Structure 1
């Protein structure tokens, strides 16, 4: 069967205009539905030994994407993850960003790029179908300097690769660090504690009580943070206060081409997700703040550890840590990232 891309509009009164949804299908059971609100993944269905299931977390009520307390599926930025006290200094000037996570700045701010409509269009080339999203952000938006533009393109091929290509630039120096915030549960329901994770990273970033990096990069060996070999997510999670919400360091710099950084496998269904990225590391978050209070797709409760995030990007709070890879992008220079989500069945 051929690759296809289809488009429809969702009339939801809570939004100030219709939401455009695109569905990419590879003709072999893999499909991903994307939204122009937040340049987001709204659904991702993958085949397994138990049939085809949605392997991402979604809201039963689409209007919840407006507030989106869990950042389901969205593109986050201008700067992903946390910035301590929402502050950084640049050329002698201190910038104060929106504080939307206690004392700190998280995922681009209260609205950021994830809670806005993006311009969008679908396309098809030999061997791929895709959708491109574009957004502009004015100087001072959420406290960031410069007029900013970002472009995010999703593509799907017949083999089962979903590729996300990011490009962004600003007319002023400033931090740029984008990622996608999809939650995965390869079983399609229940929790993820029995699913096996491998992270190609020998170090992680230590954090304080507010999850802000201390600057230390301990080795994972001999600790509950060691995922160098496949390990059930729940095996040692109780040894980590609050659960996993840390950044694993795969390398000290961005790579020229995507390299394998994480593998997630559900032993029962055989579904396997490999994450390849140009980024130096990945934030692994084990869904610690999900509490069952909100209903997900098909009315399922969004229970604690009901899904995990694997967010490839540059180190969190890097703008305040000279020893980390830099997130500072000079005016009119381009930021790029490529990440590949590769699905298969074993």
Structure 2
């Protein structure tokens, strides 16, 4: 396909992995001119071009120009744009018990397990199926996560579908089935800077998260097991506030920024709800986050220090990850919503990033 047409998908070769596996890059364009690039390596969002209030397009997600950079391990590549699984976030001491059996996972974050382990979904190659749908162009990415992969039980059939809708949304649909009881918690790890990737920082972004409670953590970022009210704390984001204002409240806390789970104000009934809203005043870009999930992990790139697209430096507060998911360490906290998937059941989750602009 040589000419640009609104509402289409273009597939191009994006080189090969170190193991020689060919990788593709898919470019999606909706009817309004929004453009998204996705690779089947890690089911990753590589670029997302969104207009500002003047109609000028900018790429608003952090990332790299080449496959080889995505293949490198953290801290060089802190999961930019990737699908995270089997378990997003942390599991204490790299172990959990399921049906009276203890499973051991990689301890790749100090003593804890993080984002699926050494070779989580972000380092796996998916089979890609480009599609034209009534909502807009889409790519479905599928793979079989084998029993025992990274220590997790069960053969897990995984499907992640990205749709760039004609309502200026990035819609992500997750679907999984298993042949053995297991745990599942998927998310997308895009870092957003609504001013444009590589431009200044996110401190003047205004953020709202519709969560009256959060799960406090210890120094190792593992939840204590409590679920407490945000009122009177730096975690009260229930009304629009700039990140700069809130981060100043961390002065006496041993965190450099947010890396915390917020308990969303929903009925945990699987319905799609508005969960967060972010506004960048200079560009006028607004992003609304809708999800069927019960929580959002807000991460303000506290420890990011790498070079991204066109050699731009990405440092602390260069972007924010808005990770819709179940709570960290849920398998070890019976009072948290369950992340267990049994044979015969289907894991399904939907998140929508909707883009608007001030006039």
Q: TM-score range by the shorter chain?
A: over 0.9
Determine whether 1:124 maps to 2:138.
no
Question: Number of paired residues?
Answer: 344
CA-to-partner distance for each residue in 1:243-283, whole Å, 9 max, x for gaps? 10000001475333210001111001000110000001100
SS in 2 for 1:89: strand
**Which residue of 1 is the match for residue 350 of structure 2?**
338
Output the CA distance in 1 between the equivalents of 2:332 and 2:135: 42
**8 Å CA contact retained: 2:146, 2:154:** yes
CA distance in 2, matches of 1:130, 1:162: 10
* Contact 1:253-1:279 within 8 A present in 2 as well: no
Hey, what's the Cα distance between the residues in 2 that align with 1:234 and 1:287? 14
- Residue of structure 1 equivalent to 2:106: 98
**CA pair 85-253 structure 1, distance change in 2 beyond 3 A:** farther
- For normalisation by structure 2, the TM-score amounts to 0.92
Report how far residue 126 of structure 1 moved: 2.4
Report if aligned partners of 2:135, 2:166 keep a CA contact under 8 Å in 1: yes
Structure 1 partner of 2:247: 237
Cα deviation, residue 300, structure 1? 1.2
Matches within 5 A, 1:72-111: 72-111=80-119
The Cα RMSD (Å) is 1.5
The TM-score, its normalising length taken from structure 1, stands at: 0.96
Which aligned segments of 4 or more residues in structure 1 are displaced greater than 6 angstroms? none
Contact 1:39 1:133 in 2 (8 A): yes
1:177 alignment partner, SS class = coil
1:80-115 deviation line (CA, Å, top 9, x unaligned): 100000111112211111111110111111111110
Query: 2:310 aligned to 298, 301, 304, which one?
Result: 298
| Equivalent residues of 1:172, 1:332 under 8 A apart | no
Render the CA deviation track for 1:166-212: whole Å, top value 9, x for unaligned.
00121111111100000000001110000011000011110011100
Task: Name the counterpart of 2:277.
Answer: 263
Is residue 53 of structure 1 aligned with residue 67 of structure 2?
no
Segments of 5+ residues of structure 1 without an aligned counterpart are: none
Q: Which residue of 2 aligns with 1:227?
A: 237
Tell whether the 8 Å contact from 1:59 to 1:297 is kept in structure 2 after alignment: yes
**Would you say the 8 A contact 2:169–2:355 is kept in 1?**
yes
Instruction: Please tell me whether the aligned partners of residues 67 and 115 of structure 1 are also in contact (alpha carbons under 8 angstroms).
Output: no
**Match among 323, 327, 342 for residue 311 of structure 1:** 323
Q: Is 1:180 aligned to residue 192 of structure 2?
A: no
CA distance in 2, matches of 1:39, 1:256: 23
Match of 2:218 in 1: 208
- 2:24 alignment counterpart: 20
What is the DSSP-based 3-state SS (H/G/I as helix, E as strand, rest coil) of the residue aligned with 1:168? strand
Gaps of 5+ in 2: none
